[in-house]
């Protein structure tokens, strides 16, 4: 285990954390403001990945594919909000979980019908596929650095919008007392639709950026969704700050656990035992972390409001 490997894995962890944050931010905003549990958030991630891949292959331009994919996810998100989710705001969490579970089945099958069940592999354009050499021995893929940069930029933008703009003020006001905001003459339904669409676009962004790293296939959204749920539970549901902290913690713990738990165990127990226990423990690590956090702080690290 050398320092370069550790650095490389730390960057991988950061990249995963940023990706989780993009998903978690939308999910936690929607929960904090509309009090809606949206399991179909992972489906929007999948829709973003499919649309961007489709438009990239259609136009031949990666950038155009990304932009059209984002716009498409925004439209799909708003349509889902208008058709199905709007009626769920006043319902209990149980109904919301079940209805959005139904939406997941619908979207997975829709993608399978339109683009087939087989996994789609995408390639990167030449200007994104190189490596960056920090110093001798540490070469890191440029694309992953771009993801980290985009994610951190989005985090900054979110912070700016929520704390420094009129829209952000309305969002915060809507989160703490929606009846009052509506009474002051704000179109709260429009605000909800906007927030949902924005969250959908963020999920789409995460999905389309993950396309070239992982594969694009039906059901890809659920794999990350459950990790994202862990993130927002650790961070405190409804808190963007919590989502960022949770995402970075989970990203790091998961990546470093998968990389180093086995060799570390091998120094304590026999290599054979480490071979079996290492991967099993690594895949359970973030859930154990979540249980530990909740045992100490049942409302997460940064509870939204008391």
Q: What is the largest CA-CA distance in the chain?
A: 68
- Rounded Cα–Cα distance for residues 129 and 139 (Å): 13
Q: Does 105 bind another protein (CB under 8 A)?
A: yes
| DSSP per residue, 158-192 | HHHHHHHSHHHHHHHHHHH-HHHHHHTT--HHHHH
Closest listed residue to residue 84, CA positions, set 68, 107, 50, 112: 107
**What SS3 class is residue 135?**
strand
Cβ contacts of 199 within 8 Å, gap of 6 or more:
25, 26, 27, 29, 30, 41, 77
Judged by beta carbon, residue 132 or residue 269, the one nearer another protein is 269
Q: Does 230 bind another protein (CB under 8 A)?
A: yes
Cβ contacts of 26 within 8 Å, gap of 6 or more:
41, 44, 198, 199, 200, 201, 202, 203
Q: How far is the CB of 231 from another protein (least distance, A)?
A: 10
Of 53-82, binders to another protein (CB under 8 A) are none
Q: Does 161 bind another protein (CB under 8 A)?
A: no
Which secondary-structure segment (H or E) carries 263? helix 240-268
- Cα(first)–Cα(last) distance of the chain, in Å? 44
Q: Does 94 bind another protein (CB under 8 A)?
A: yes
Phi/psi for 301 (5° steps) reads: -70, -40
**Candidate ranges 92-100, 166-174, 199-207, 261-269; the one touching another protein (CB under 8 A):** 92-100
- Rounded Cα–Cα distance for residues 200 and 152 (Å): 18
Q: Does 233 bind another protein (CB under 8 A)?
A: yes
Q: How far is the CB of 60 from another protein (least distance, A)?
A: 31
Using CB under 8 A, pick the residue from 63, 119, 284, 305 that binds another protein. 284
Q: Does 260 bind another protein (CB under 8 A)?
A: no
Q: Does 156 bind another protein (CB under 8 A)?
A: no
Q: Does 271 bind another protein (CB under 8 A)?
A: no
**Candidate ranges 11-19, 59-67, 83-91, 248-256; the one touching another protein (CB under 8 A):** 83-91
Q: Does 136 bind another protein (CB under 8 A)?
A: no
Using CB under 8 A, pick the residue from 1, 183, 269, 294 that binds another protein. 294
Q: How far is the CB of 304 from another protein (least distance, A)?
A: 12
What are the tokens at 298?
Answer: 């049942």
Note the residues at the interface with another protein (CB under 8 A). 31, 37, 84, 87-88, 93-95, 97-99, 101-110, 112-113, 222, 226, 229-230, 232-233, 237, 276, 279-280, 283-284, 287-288, 290-291, 294-295, 298-299
């Amino acid at each position: 285990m050398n320092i370069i490997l550790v650095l490389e894995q730390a960057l991988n962890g950061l990249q995963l954390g940023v990706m989780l944050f993009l998903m978690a931010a939308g999910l936690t905003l929607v929960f904090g403001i509309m009090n809606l549990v949206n399991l179909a958030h992972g489906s929007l991630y999948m829709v973003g990945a499919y649309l961007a891949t489709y438009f990239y292959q259609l136009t031949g331009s990666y950038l155009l594919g990304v932009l059209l994919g984002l716009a498409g996810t925004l439209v799909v998100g708003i349509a889902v909000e208008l058709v199905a989710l709007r009626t769920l705001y006043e319902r209990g969490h149980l109904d919301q979980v079940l209805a959005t579970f139904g939406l997941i089945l619908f979207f997975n099958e829709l993608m399978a019908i339109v683009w087939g069940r087989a996994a789609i592999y995408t390639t990167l354009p030449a200007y994104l596929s190189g490596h960056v050499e920090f110093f001798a021995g540490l070469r890191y893929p440029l694309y992953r650095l771009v993801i980290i940069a985009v994610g951190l930029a989005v985090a900054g933008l979110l912070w700016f919008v929520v704390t420094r703009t009129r829209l952000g003020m309305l969002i915060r006001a809507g989160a703490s007392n929606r009846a009052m905001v509506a009474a002051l003459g704000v179109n709260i339904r429009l605000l909800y639709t906007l927030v949902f669409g924005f969250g959908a676009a963020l999920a789409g962004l995460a999905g389309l950026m993950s396309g070239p790293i992982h594969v694009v296939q039906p059901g890809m959204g659920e794999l990350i969704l459950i990790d994202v749920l862990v993130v927002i539970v650790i961070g405190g549901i409804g808190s963007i700050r919590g989502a960022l902290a949770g995402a970075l913690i989970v990203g790091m713990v998961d990546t470093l656990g998968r990389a180093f738990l086995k060799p570390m165990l091998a120094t304590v127990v026999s290599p054979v035992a480490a071979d079996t226990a290492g991967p099993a423990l690594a895949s359970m690590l973030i859930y154990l972390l979540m249980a530990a956090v909740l045992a100490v702080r049942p409302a997460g690290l940064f509870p939204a409001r008391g």
